[in-house]
Structure 1
Amino acid sequence: MLSLIFSQWHRNDEKDTNFQEILKSLCLRAQCLKQTFPDVIPMPSFLQKIRFKSVWERMRLQRDYQRKLINFHKDTFDPYMIRDLTDQLMMYVENGDDKGLFASDDMENLLLEISGSGFEETAITLTWLLGYMAMYPAVQGQVQKELDYVVGRDKDPCLDDQALLPYTVATICEAQRMATVMPFLYPHQAVKKSMLQGYDIPKDTWVLCNVWSIHYDAKYWKNPKKFDPTRFLKDGKTVLIPDFFLPYGLGMRECPGQALATLEIFLYFSHILHHMIIRSADDTHSFYMEGELDSFLHHKPKPFLIKAIKRED
């Protein structure tokens, strides 16, 4: 994410002190949000201040560092050479596309939010994916066979390969369906009295969408408890995404980072399987994962042990 926002970041930046400080900020924020439901159940302002004091301090430090990078971009900005998202935003403002409504603080806050987008959900999805590969070695083998055929062994997968790897993409989709990391979408509230499929919904009623029920409904999915990537393939060659597949929600409140999260998960997953074979820690075929809900209603796997074996070139 930081490479997309600030192109100065490279592969070895995880050794950089500033990078570690930003990572601490994101981890702390994720941990804090899991403790209660700050966006669902309001808390007294004085309790919010106590609870989020350390988070705000880390966000301030991250803003200070980002401000330095933004200033560097301003000093070196070239409209004919867009390097990253920061340059794109500056071009957006300079061309007047924001109609004078985009302030400097808006850019800082937006970049701060984007840097942590999908931080928790992407990690949970990848954890499920690795566990499923240990559970279903035949599926893993098919993904690796496709990667070897399309990408080859002498280079890494890239975004251009995604359209040519339908089984790999279908495997990711099936893992998202089976895991359903967000079993319930964020609560909505009826702004007026409504009726939905014969049910009266009074004004101000909280409404939750049960995505888990949809993803395991036998009316939509044949053998819904079976891990089967081919359900997302048409004629075994083309990825087909049905309307009742909702890992990112639906409609106006659909996750705005869906496209970005999809690319991130694809790159991580394809790189890992391109280089590693995932097995259960004891090499048995009885490996099985169990899920649990954390306090922020993420469906995540309980801790499990696997091993990664380097593939031969």
Structure 2
Amino acid sequence: MLGFEIQTVLLCVTAFVILWWWLQKPKNLPPGPWGWPLVGYIPNLVVALYRTGLDPPQLFAKMSTKYGPVFSMRIGGKLIVVLNKHSIIKEAFHNPHISNRPTSHTMRDLGLGGGLLSPGEGWKQERRFTLTTLRSFGVGKRSFEEHIAEEAEYLLEEITNFHATPFDLLPLFTNATSNVICSVVLGKRYEYSDSNFKYLLSLINQNVQIAGAGAAQIFFPIFKYFQRSNYKQLETNISSIIKFINDVVKQHESDRDPDNPNDYIDVYLNELESSQKHGQDTHVRKTKTMPLTIMTLFSAGTETTSTTLRWGVKYMMAYPEIQKRIQQEIDSVVGRDRLPRLTDKDNLPFTAATLLEIQRICSVVPLAVPHNCVEDTTIDGFNIPKESLVLANLNLIHHNPDTWKNPDEFNPERFLDKDGCLQEREGLIPFSTGRRMCIGEHLAKMELYIFFTHLFHRFTFKKPDGDSQPISLKGVLGFVNTPSTFLTQVESRD
């Protein structure tokens, strides 16, 4: 009898909790799947991913056919709103109430905060300061081309050393793209043989995989309990990167000339010194903000560009006829006596179109970086409560058959008009959109063009001799969609 009474009480309590949870649910939310109290949709999500074999962006695309272009679900205690239409993403990410980043529990646990990932108002000051400082060193300006081209020539020299030997492009491309941002932010470039720097870059590569789609490990606290070992590895890697940055900062403190800043760190230290001298409240914080901002620039300026270039080489290996057409176009415009320049771009429409098609079909950051809603607002007529997280399914935007004919087909021609001239299309947003779009968009575009054209001016990339396996174009999804590991072999065109 007592057992029956206990069961009855537990049943009543459970029913009360479910009823209370249901009554607390805000009205007019975007439609979406039901979830469990406390854990939300996580169990269903794990089962759905396992059963379908889809990755999160693909599963969200499938869910959008049922629930519409805006749907919601709970992950732990957080309401997640997923946007699956370009016009809606554009509307949402220009909304000032959806311009924040969620609080990163990972950075908080490591004693870091503020900067470009700040969930508060500080990000505006930090972004403005960073853009102004980088531009003062030429970043994003046409004059910066020489700097990128110089690093591209270092890269070509490294590749030449392999001759006909198959090799992995990953360490070379990450080192090259990292050197471009390091020279401005840290004040130096690093040799391709530098073992310490290669190890540091390997940590960044690990982090983009561990972080998961939408950087779930960084912004969704519940995942650190479900994937504890991954979370601890992420913390260890970030700590190592921060230590490296702090060591560089210490060196700057002893060497710098305040009247002649050589890089971003020098300017940052000047700003810090000035704010302390005048007792000003500023976004600049040496122990928390500074290393986090530098790590953000360092990591973002390395990983997405190098990954896009690796995808570019892999697609050219898989489509040798397109690679040949690019080389013929470059040769006809540039010739064999010099390397391509930015001024050649208007006369290389097929090459430029191929780069755009690579960015479209690969969707290197498929769920972008999450946004956080700081006030109650609306998206497409639905109520979005404060503290909701908003994800943009860029992978679907870039593969929507309503926008792109045969979206899974690799076809650079879709970016050319009937006269063969380049036409950029609104549906392509690899750098996201709105108030928090990628701070390094202009730099990344310059790097992609210069590195890509230099590579194919100098070399032909192909499968290693004797390799009869088809080239896999399936990605490995983390925060960044990377190509599976592959070896390439080059033939010099000189």
- TM-score normalised by structure 1 residue count: 0.77
Correspondence 1:171-190 to 2 at 5 A? 171-190=354-373
Post-superposition CA distance 1:184-232 (Å, at most 9, x none): 2223344455544455545544332221222122221223222222322
Q: Secondary structure at the match of 2:490?
A: strand
For residues 31 and 104 of structure 1, do their structure 2 counterparts lie closer, same or farther at Cα, with a shift above 3 Å needed?
same
1:300 is aligned to 482
Q: Which amino acid aligns with 1:307?
A: Q
For residues 129 and 283 of structure 1, do their structure 2 counterparts lie closer, same or farther at Cα, with a shift above 3 Å needed?
farther
Is residue 333 of structure 2 the alignment partner of residue 150 of structure 1?
Answer: yes
For residues 84 and 235 of structure 1, do their structure 2 counterparts lie closer, same or farther at Cα, with a shift above 3 Å needed?
farther
Of residues 55, 59, 69, the one that matches 2:238 is 55
Is residue 202 of structure 2 the alignment partner of residue 24 of structure 1?
Answer: no
1:218 is aligned to 401
Higher RCO, 1 vs 2 (CA within 8 Å, ≥6 residues apart): 2
Identity of aligned residues (%): 27
For residues 206 and 5 of structure 1, do their structure 2 counterparts lie closer, same or farther at Cα, with a shift above 3 Å needed?
closer
Q: Secondary structure at the match of 1:248?
A: coil
- For the aligned residue pairs, the C-alpha RMSD in angstroms reads 3.7
Q: Secondary structure at the match of 1:118?
A: helix
Q: Which amino acid aligns with 1:21?
A: N
1:70 and 1:265 mapped to 2: Cα distance?
33
Q: Which amino acid aligns with 1:262?
A: K
1:39 is aligned to 218
Q: Which amino acid aligns with 1:180?
A: S
For residues 225 and 153 of structure 1, do their structure 2 counterparts lie closer, same or farther at Cα, with a shift above 3 Å needed?
same
1:250 and 1:132 mapped to 2: Cα distance?
26
The range that moved more, 83-92 or 66-75, is: 83-92
Q: Is the 8 A contact 2:245 2:291 kept in 1?
A: no
Q: Is the 8 A contact 2:210 2:234 kept in 1?
A: no
Q: Secondary structure at the match of 2:395?
A: helix
- TM-score normalised by structure 2 residue count: 0.51
Of residues 434, 451, 458, the one that matches 1:275 is 458
Q: Any gaps of 5 or more consecutive residues in structure 2?
A: 1-180
Q: Any gaps of 5 or more consecutive residues in structure 1?
A: none
Query: Which of 1 and 2 has greater Rg?
Result: 2
Q: Is the 8 A contact 1:159 1:267 kept in 2?
A: yes
Correspondence 1:1-313 to 2 at 5 A? 1-5=181-185, 8-9=188-189, 13-16=191-194, 20-32=195-207, 34-36=209-211, 37-42=216-221, 43=224, 52-53=235-236, 55-69=238-252, 71-74=254-257, 78=260, 85=264, 101=282, 103=284, 105=286, 110-197=293-380, 199-234=382-417, 236=419, 238-281=421-464, 287-294=470-477, 296-311=478-493, 313=494
1:258 Cα shift? 1.6
2:489 and 2:283 mapped to 1: Cα distance?
48
Q: Is the 8 A contact 1:25 1:59 kept in 2?
A: no
For residues 306 and 26 of structure 1, do their structure 2 counterparts lie closer, same or farther at Cα, with a shift above 3 Å needed?
closer
1:247 Cα shift? 0.9
For residues 91 and 142 of structure 1, do their structure 2 counterparts lie closer, same or farther at Cα, with a shift above 3 Å needed?
farther
* Number of equivalences: 299
1:85 Cα shift? 5.0
